[in-house]
Structure 1
Amino acid sequence: MPRDGLDRATVIAAASELADEVGFAPVTVGLLAERVGVRTPSLYKHVDSLDAFQRGVSLQAVGDTDAVLTRAAVGRSGPDAVRAIAEAYRKWALDHPGRYAESVRAPRPENDEYQAVTYEAVQILFDAVAGSGLTDERAIDAVRALRTVIHGFVGLENDDAFHRERDPADSYRFVVDTHINGMRAEAAIGGPDTAPLHVRERA
C-alpha cells in the first residue's frame, strides 16, 4: 500500500484486517507499519500509540456490528428478527474473527464513545425481543442468553471445535430456535407484559 493518502482511517482499517488474519493480540505497531508501507515512526503521525490503534479497532468493530445487526433487523420483528440478527451476527463473526473478538470486550468506563456504540448494538437485541411478551427483567435475561448463545457457538466454531458430520449452521439454527421457544414458554407462563420495554443496561 503506498504511503500517499495514508490517514488514521486507513491505518485503523489495516489494523482491523490484520486482526482478522492473525488475531488481535499479535498485531504490533511494527507489523502494522509494514502492512501500510511506512516506517514505524511515520505511523505515529496517524496513531500515537499501540493503545490508540487498539481502541480504534475496537470502536470500528462495534460500529460494524451495529450496522450488520441493524440491516438484519430492518422490516422484521419477534422471532423472525431474532433469527435474522443471529444469522447475520454469526456470519460477520466468522468472516471477521479478530474484529469480533475485540467487539465483545467490556468497554472501559472512561470511553464514552465506545460505551455509546456498544449500547446501540445491545439495544438492537432488546428491540428484537421487545414484542415477545416478556417482562422487562426477563427481557434482560433473554438478551443475555442470546448473546451467550451467539458468542459461545461462534467462539467454538472459530476455534474449529466442531468435528462431527453435521453442518454447524444447522446446529446453530437449532440452538437459536431453542432459545426462541424458551422465550415463548416463559412469556406464556409469566403472561404478557403491559409495560413498555425501556432497558438502559448493557446486558
Structure 2
Amino acid sequence: MREKVTRQTILQVSEEIVNQEGYENLTLAKVAKALEIKTPSLYNHISSLNDLRKALTLRALKRFNHQIMTAAVGRSGEEALKAIGFAYIHFMKDNPGLYGTTLNMLDSQDTEIDQAGSDVIAIILRVLEPYHLSKEQAIHFVRGLRALSHGFGTLERQGGFNIDVPLDQSISIAFDIFIKGMVALSKV
C-alpha cells in the first residue's frame, strides 16, 4: 500500500531525485511517478515546480546550517573554521543534488532563501569575531572558505584526486594555509 502523499513526502522524494539525478533533472512528472500518483495530484500540496524547488532550497540551507553549526559547536578559532570547511565538503558529498539547489537559487530575490543563506554566513562570521576582521575582510574569508570547500568537494565528486595521497590530509593542509593567511591578514 502506498504511503499517504503529503508535502513532506513530496519533498523527501524530490530530494532523492535531485541527489540521484541532479537538480536540473527534477520534474513534477518524475516526482509523481516515484509517488505512484498522477502529476495533477501534486498540486494539492505544491503550487508549481518553482514552489517545490524553493522548498528544497530552504530544506538544503537549513540542513546545511545545522551541519556547519554542529561542526563548530565546542570548537573555536582555527579548529572551528576548519571543521566548518570539512562539514561543507561532507554536506556536498552526502547531498549532491540538494547542495545543487542552493547554487541554483542564489539570485532568487526570495526573502526566505536570502534569510536562510544569511543564517549560514552568520555562523562563520560568529566564529571569525575573535579575529577582529573588518566586515570586508570577513566577507573575503567567507567567500574564500566557500570556494576552497566547493572546489575540493566538486573535484572529489568528479574523480579529480586519483593520486595515492590521503585527500583529507590535502584538504586539511589547504585549510590550514588559508586560515593562517587570514589570521596573518587580521594582524596587519
Aligned match of 2:171: 172
Q: What is the CA distance between 1:75 and its match in structure 2?
A: 2.0
Matches of 1:9 and 1:181, distance apart in 2: 43
Q: Which residue of 1 aligns with 2:180?
A: 181
Cα gap change, 1:125 to 1:139, in 2 (>3 Å):
same
Q: Does 1:108 align with 2:108?
A: yes
Say whether the 8 Å CA contact 1:69–1:89 is kept in structure 2.
yes
Q: Which moved more, 1:115-124 or 1:168-177?
A: 168-177
**Structure 1 residue 154 displacement after superposition:** 1.0
Q: CA deviation at 1:66?
A: 0.8
- Find the counterpart in structure 2 of residue 140 from structure 1: 139
Secondary structure of the equivalent of 2:163? coil
Deviations 1:26-69 (A, max 9, x none): 11111111112212121221122111111111111111111111
Find the aligned partners of 2:36 and 2:165 in 1 and give their Cα distance: 43
Structure 2 contact 85–146 (Cα < 8 Å) conserved: no
Distance 2:123 2:184 in 1: 22
Does 2:34 correspond to 1:32?
no
For structure 2, list consecutive stretches of 5 or more residues without a partner in the other structure.
Answer: none
CA shift, 1:134, in A, is 2.5
Q: Secondary structure at the match of 1:43?
A: helix
The aligned counterpart of 2:150 is: 151
Cα distance in 1, alignment partners of residues 142 and 174 from structure 2? 14
1:12-27 equivalences in 2 (<5 Å): 12-27=11-26
Counterpart-to-counterpart distance in 2, 1:54 and 1:178 = 37
Aligned residues of 1:65 and 1:89 also touching (Cα < 8 A) = yes
Distance 2:8 2:55 in 1: 9
- Alpha carbons of structure 1 residues 13 and 57: separation in structure 2 relative to 1, 3 Å: same
Aligned length: 187
Partner residue, 2:65: 66
Q: Percent identity?
A: 29
Assess if the C-alpha contact under 8 Å between 1:16 and 1:98 holds in 2. yes
Q: Counterparts of 1:90 and 1:103 in 2: how far apart (Å)?
A: 14
Alpha-carbon RMSD across the aligned residues, in angstroms, is: 1.5
- Which residue number corresponds to residue 46 of structure 2? 47
Query: What is the distance in 1 between the residues matched to 2:141 and 2:29?
Result: 43
Per-residue deviation, 1:137: 2.1
Aligned partner of residue 163 in structure 1, secondary structure? coil
- Residues in 2 aligned to 1:171 and 1:64: alpha-carbon distance in whole angstroms: 26
What letter matches 2:70 in structure 1?
A: R
Aligned to 2:92: 93
Partner SS for 2:133: coil
Q: Which of the two has greater helix per residue? A: 2
Shift of 1:15: 0.5
Contact 2:71 2:83 survives alignment (8 Å):
yes
CA contact (8 A) 1:29 1:40 kept: yes
Q: Give the SS at the match of 2:23.
A: coil
Gaps of 5+ in 1: 191-203
Q: Residue type matched to 2:108 in 1?
A: R
